[in-house]
Structure 1
Amino acid sequence: MTLQEAPNEVDAPVAPHRDSTFYSDHVVILVEDSLFKVPKRPFVEGAQVFKDMFSLPGYAETADGESDDKPLKLEGITKDGFRALLRVMFESYHQPPEVAKSVHELSTEEWVEVLKLATMWEYDKIRRIALANLTPRFEADRQSTRWLGYARRYEVREWLVPALCALARRPQAIQLDEVDDLGIETVVRMAEIREDHRMLNANTTGLRPYLAYDLVSVINRVFAEELLPSSK
């Protein structure tokens, strides 16, 4: 007697899985009156604020960002600024900062918006790209008080001393419309530095150049509280 061969077992169906690279989870974001539907991954991987938010217990149950009817609302920013950030984010996502910085043609105002949002959301790679593009423009326009304002608001410490020195050296006096950007305390301190600088230059005999005044040391002393590294 021969044994009957056992029938072949039917392979159990294998449930499909989501590819780790090419399966995009999207999020719908509302900024002002505009809806943006974008991949969530660059936000989660690059921006610490979004990473923390999306990982909060209970976030999935809120359904914010799941549809046009229930978007994730971002307050206090502009749609133009957010659009500029998205351009940089998605064009540079798979490129290192030193390559990505050369592929964007944004205005100075747009780059400042990118810097603002990258700083706010702790998106370090985008912040580095924004600074790489903005620093040459700062170098060409140091005397404008707006750069000092940007340096303070967006924590660009490397711009502070050059911006303060340029303000102290410029021939033009501080204007009324610059006071709000500088703050009254800076205006008072800068007036004293500029007067000392001017008087020293007036008293020289021609043997000492105008820039011999150690302005950097004076700036570091007068603005020490702001310029010295925080002890926190």
Structure 2
Amino acid sequence: MSNTNASGKKATTTISRPKPIRWGGTVFFKVEEIVFEAPRYRFTEHSEVFEDMFHLPTGSNGDVEGRDEEHPIMLDGYKANDFSALMRVLYPE
């Protein structure tokens, strides 16, 4: 079976990658000077603290911690390399 089209040129097949599924939205964390973006479902699945945090009402100014890059959840006292390693465990490729 040949992989050529009617004009005699080799046909190329494009494989499209599925779009990532966002389970319960995205959450942003800032560790040192790096902002990490992740699906929040693993955090709520394994932590009552995050589960409760994500259900808190918005503040009086409408900002929600972790909702976007401008208002990330600040993780002071942690190293970006350590948090990156945690992310690779929670969301392996």
Q: Secondary structure at the match of 2:91?
A: helix
Letter in 1 for 2:91: F
Q: How far 1:62 sits from its partner (Å)?
A: 3.1
Q: Given the alignment of the two structures, is residue 37 of structure 1 paired with residue 37 of structure 2, yes or no?
A: yes
Q: How far 1:28 sits from its partner (Å)?
A: 1.2
Per-residue CA shift, 1:161-201, capped at 9, x if unaligned? xxxxxxxxxxxxxxxxxxxxxxxxxxxxxxxxxxxxxxxxx
TM-score scaled by length of structure 1: 0.28
Q: Given the alignment of the two structures, is residue 47 of structure 1 paired with residue 36 of structure 2, yes or no?
A: no
Identity, in percent, stands at 31
Aligned residues: 70
Q: How far 1:91 sits from its partner (Å)?
A: 2.1
Q: Secondary structure at the match of 1:91?
A: coil
**Which residue in the other structure is 1:63 paired with?**
64
1:66 and 1:23 map into 2 onto residues whose CA distance is: 13
Structure 2 unmatched ranges of 5 or more: 1-20
1:30 and 1:78 map into 2 onto residues whose CA distance is: 10
Q: How far 1:70 sits from its partner (Å)?
A: 1.5
Per-residue CA shift, 1:36-81, capped at 9, x if unaligned? 011011101112221122123x247432112221211112211111
Letter in 1 for 2:85: A
Structure in which a larger fraction of residues adopt strand = 2
**Which residue in the other structure is 2:26 paired with?**
26
Q: Secondary structure at the match of 2:92?
A: helix
Letter in 1 for 2:34: S
Letter in 2 for 1:71: P
Q: Secondary structure at the match of 1:35?
A: strand
1:78 and 1:30 map into 2 onto residues whose CA distance is: 10
1:50 and 1:23 map into 2 onto residues whose CA distance is: 17
Structure 1 or 2, whichever has the larger Rg, is: 1
Q: Secondary structure at the match of 1:77?
A: coil
**Which residue in the other structure is 1:82 paired with?**
83
> Residues 63, 49 of structure 1: CA spacing in aligned structure 2 closer, same or farther, 3 A cutoff?
same
Looking at both structures, which has the greater relative contact order when contacts are Cα pairs under 8 Å and sequence separation is at least 6? 2
1:52 and 1:76 map into 2 onto residues whose CA distance is: 22
Letter in 2 for 1:47: S
1:54 and 1:77 map into 2 onto residues whose CA distance is: 21
2:72 and 2:40 map into 1 onto residues whose CA distance is: 13
For the 8 Å contact 2:30–2:72, the answer to whether it is kept is: yes
Map residues 94-173 of structure 1 onto 2, 5 A cutoff: none
TM-score scaled by length of structure 2: 0.63
Letter in 2 for 1:83: S
> Residues 50, 76 of structure 1: CA spacing in aligned structure 2 closer, same or farther, 3 A cutoff?
same
